[in-house]
Chain A
Amino acid sequence: DAKTTQPNSMESNEEEPVHLPCNHSTISGTDYIHWYRQLPSQGPEYVIHGLTSNVNNRMASLAIAEDRKSSTLILHRATLRDAAVYYCILRGGSARQLTFGSGTQLTVLP
């Protein structure tokens, strides 16, 4: 599986936007970019996914570089509840499973 690289940790102030980066220079043409997050003492939860175009949903936005070698998860207005580990995952076109890396621990400061 192609790998992703994320910063180990990031901090953000409450009510400010957060940009979480992910590098995936070996991404293949059929790999989708998925983001999950894991709140303390909970299982991971789906956030968003995309292939080439930027994507928006009620939780976040996903900005994908034109060459697809990097992407950014955008939380438009961080809340304390957004403090979690965020995982950027490449998922092959036919893959049903997810392979998790170490993710980014996001701390939101009040």
Chain B
Amino acid sequence: DAGVIQSPRHEVTEMGQEVTLRCKPISGHDYLFWYRQTMMRGLELLIYFNNNVPIDDSGMPEDRFSAKMPNASFSTLKIQPSEPRDSAVYFCASSFGQKNSPLHFGNGTRLTVT
């Protein structure tokens, strides 16, 4: 099992540009989570999906952020337009639906917006 796969590992972009982060969850997992990590705020949940349907997006900072899960094996997090304060490490995680199933995290995408 390859684990949760995120791409790209690093992204550097200029303010105002569109950024798309990608995630492939572990096969068979029915929950998918997007987290953001910064020094100031730590790990924050942005949004999570169950069976490709968004369940809670209350952590999405503002309308510039959007997330989709078109099928069980792929999700995207898009920022348009990007701003320097969006610079962070973005993690994707997946899990089975049973109670207390552990979350399996990818290695993250480090986003730098200049």
List the interface of chain A (C-beta within 8 A of B): 32, 34, 36, 41-46, 49, 91, 93-94, 96-103
Contacts and interface: CB of A to CB of B under 8 A. Distances in A.
B99 A44 contact: no
Contacts, number: 51
A32 B100 contact: yes
A87 to B, nearest CB: 8
Do most interface residues of chain B lie in helix, strand or loop, or is the interface mixed? Answer: strand
Contacts of B99: 93-94
B60 to A, nearest CB: 14
Nearest to B43: A100
Interface of B: 4, 31, 33, 35, 42-45, 48, 50, 55-56, 91, 93, 95, 97, 99-108
A44 B43 contact: yes
27 contacts: A34-B100, A36-B103, A43-B4, A43-B93, A43-B106, A43-B107, A43-B108, A44-B91, A45-B105, A46-B104, A91-B100, A93-B99, A96-B48, A96-B50, A96-B97, A97-B33, A97-B45, A97-B48, A97-B56, A98-B33, A98-B103, A99-B45, A100-B42, A100-B43, A100-B44, A101-B42, A102-B42
